[in-house]
Amino acid sequence: MKASAIVLLAALSVLLAASAPAGAVVPRDLALRLTDLDPGFAVEDETCDPTRLYDDGPSRILKQIGARHHTDCAIGFWRVWKAPGTPASPLRVSSYAFVFDNTDGPEAALTRPRAVVTYLSGDALEVVPPAPAIGDEAVLLHGDMQRVGRRSWWSATVLWRSGNVLAAVRTISQRSADVSTQAALRLAAVQQARIASPTPLGPNDNDDAEVGLDAPDLRVPIYWLGHDLAARGRLPGLTLHLSLALRFRGIEAVYLGYGRDDELVVTLMQPSILRLPIVRRDLRRLAHDPCTRRERVALPSGHATIWSKRGRRCRVRAEDTFAIARMPGVIVVLGQDSERRSVTRYATRAGMLRLLRALRLRQPSAAP
């Protein structure tokens, strides 16, 4: 092949790569993912929801951009915890990716960056020089400081185009405008690297199920069922999908949701929870209820009580079957969320026995 033909083919391949059809690239592969962020972040949106660029108001530029065929993705993240001694980081991060059939849409968007970003975020924005060196063309925008009570919030957004892709990263910080700006610039560079070299979103790239369990200030040992609990007989398998640390009246609790829509809830609490008058009163009431049945179970690292109701004259509900386990340094409560309409098969004596025997101490993840 002649050298001129090789040069022509190379130039053609670059042109095609810069103007790939909107259906040739999956926008979710171009957006940020949880593995791109610092430890302690969780996914605010469970899926990469589409966010079409369209406006039925007076903005002519958004109508023009939105009328051009494109596919898109928007995903948000929020900071659950921050390790002591680590640099300041934003509270929230949003990532956007819009893939057009050609470069016209992204180029038009960069002529009116304030209109586009205001549509995406609702912020009142101002363009801040100098322009970041990201993609083919980029702008940095600052949002006005907002006060909520005694707290102040700053936002920063980087909007840029890379070939036929329009992208944006927005950050919100409580510390300062500089924290938001530096985080937005850093994460925009990370997202641009994904745009330049797309990789498919892996099944675990946005898995935040264990984020709450890695918080550095937890004061209770984590007894859990593992990330996945295998099915056994009629009892289905369970997968952890949510973990969250809570504090109530000075007592720490860790919430673990297993299965779809919290089919099973595991709550870890400090032992002092049993000394609260309201808890003692409820347990006393259950103990004297003629419909209530208690069964004590010995465990390798502690002991537990299965609570259930039985009898034709008793109004029995799925949430009436639960277990309380006393493990070293923690109280573990297993049961079904009372808001669930469907009944889990674990809301039975056999189900509770299976769960209690599956409880084990979780080893902390490697330090970030």
User: How does the average pLDDT of the chain come out, rounded?
Assistant: 85
* pLDDT attached to residue 14: 35
Residues 6+ apart with CB under 8 A from 253: 220, 245, 246, 247, 267, 268, 269, 270, 273
Lookup: tokens for 237: 């398998």
- pLDDT of 338 reads 63
Dihedral angle of Cα 130, 144, 39, 355, to the nearest 10 degrees: -150
pLDDT at residue 6 in the model: 35
Q: What is the pLDDT of residue 2?
A: 42
Give 248: exposed, middle or buried? Use CB within 10 Å, 0-12, 13-18, 19+.
exposed
Query: Are the beta carbons of 266 and 346 closer than 8 angstroms?
Result: no
- pLDDT tens-digit profile of 14-37? 333 344 455 568 899 999 999 999
- Whether the model clears a pTM of 0.85, i.e. scores above it, the answer is no
| Alpha carbon distance 90, 181 (integer Å) | 9
Contacts of 96 (CB under 8 A, 6+ apart): 31, 51, 72, 73, 74, 120, 166, 167, 168, 169, 170
Residue 309 banded pLDDT, cuts 50, 70, 90: confident
CATH for 17-196, options being 3.40.50.300, 3.20.20.70, 3.40.50.2000, 3.40.1000.70:
3.40.1000.70
Averaged pLDDT for residues 247-273? 86
Sign of the alpha-carbon torsion through 285, 287, 289, 293:
positive
> Would the pLDDT of 306 be above 90?
yes
How many of the other CB atoms lie within 10 Å of CB of 151? Answer: 8
What value does the mean pLDDT take over residues 306-311?
84
144, burial (CB in 10 Å: exposed 0-12, middle 13-18, buried 19+): exposed
Among 51-55, 130-134, 289-293, name the one with the lowest average pLDDT: 51-55
Give yes or no for residue 315 having a pLDDT over 60.
yes
Residues 67-112 pLDDT 10s: 889 999 999 999 999 988 888 889 999 999 999 999 999 999 999 9
**Average confidence (pLDDT) over 218-245:** 93
Confidence of residue 342 (pLDDT cuts 50, 70, 90): low
CB atoms within 10 A of CB 319: 15
225 pLDDT above the threshold of 50: yes
pLDDT at 145 (0 to 100):
64
pLDDT of residue 275: 86
**How far is C-alpha 207 from the geometric centre of its chain's CA atoms?**
8
Instruction: Using the predicted structure, report yes or no on whether residue 233 has a pLDDT greater than 60.
Output: yes
The residues that bridge with 248 in the sheet, in sequence order, are 251
Residue ranges per structural domain of the chain: 17-196, 211-361
What's the rounded Cα separation, in Å, for the pair 350 and 354?
A: 6
